[in-house]
Amino acid sequence: MNLELILFLILTLVAAFSSVMVITRKNPILSAVYLILNFFALAGIYLLLNAQFLSVVQVIVYAGAIMILFLFVIMLINTENEASILADKKPIKVFAIFIAVLVFAQIAYLIFYSNPAELSNGTIENLIKAGQIESIGRELYTTYILPFLIAGYLLLVATIGAIILAKKKFE
Amino acid sequence: MQVPIEYYLILSAFMFSVGVAGVLIRRNAIIILMSIELMLNSANLALITFSSFMGNSIGQIFAFFVMTVAAAEAAIGLAIVIAIFRNKLTVNIDQINLFKW
């Protein structure tokens, strides 16, 4: 057992456990807190994958900005807890779980059938350089400059749309 | 890279199916949005895994764009939830059934 594998197993257990907790808690605030835990575990996994920039962005954007938004909305609208998650409409929900298991089985079959390990042919310098801010920034500002600008425009439109939708008087 | 690529992909698949189950089972609109965030994150994990194992940073740029879209989606979705709550005083999607027939 080397250190990388041990770290990966711990982070994976945290991520899997917290993702199940997100959809099984009755109180939405607890769900949000477990989702934050899940995002931190994923940031650790990105670090294991040599993606330092994405790891930092994950903590700042997801665990910081988006989850604060969720917590504020939960605080604003003060929802009642769901009485029970599985009790009402039980056959439909059991069928829904069956569909989710089916999706998982299908993706797992694809992963093992397509043998993705043969894709990993990068040299060791490439592997280290891929996650660094320098190479990401160079690609982002040269080849992908148009999608980058469109992403900025999308954020502007989303901000205006959110303000208009959440305004007091909807006219 | 001493952890095999399959382990990361299985974690991604597991989180995606948990997100699917959350969207299908839960009735609270906010928790449905959270499940969508889970699914987007699992897609990000798969993108970053392939990018990192192939020594190519393009996958990480796509993950960055996915994060942008996720932020926009969360802002708009939560604004819609607030607008619905103002009209109906609930976020339970069983009671928001105007389009149901």
Collapsing DSSP states into helix, strand and coil, what is residue B92? Answer: strand
Q: Find, among A32, A39, A34, A33, the residue nearest to A61 by Cα.
A: A39
Residue A28: give its domain's CATH number.
1.20.120.1200
Count how many domains chain A has: 1
Range of the domain at A38: 1-79
Q: Is residue A146 included in any domain, yes or no?
A: no
- What pLDDT digit, counting tens, does each position of A67-100 carry? 999 999 998 887 666 666 666 777 888 888 999 9
| Nearest residue to B78 (alpha-carbon basis) of B25, B26, B34 | B34
State the smallest CA–CA distance between residue A80 and chain B in angstroms.
Answer: 9
pTM of the model: 0.90
The model's pLDDT over A104-132, given as tens digits with 9 standing for 90+, comes to 999 999 888 887 777 766 666 777 777 78
Helices A67-77 & B58-88 angle (0-180, nearest 10): 10
- Options 3.30.450.40, 1.10.10.10, 2.40.160.10, 1.10.287.3510; CATH for B5-88 is 1.10.287.3510
Interface probe for B, chosen from A18, A20, A27, A49 (most Cβ of B below 10 Å), is: A49
Task: Write down the pLDDT at residue B22.
Answer: 92
CB within 8 Å: A62 and B55: no
A116: in domain:
no
Is A66 among the domain residues? yes
Cβ-contact A116, B6 below 8 angstroms: yes
Asked whether residue A43 is assigned to any structural domain, the reply reads yes
Give the pLDDT confidence of B43-92 residue by residue, as tens digits: 999 999 988 888 888 889 999 999 999 999 999 999 999 988 888 888 88
Whether residue A113 lies inside any domain: the answer is no
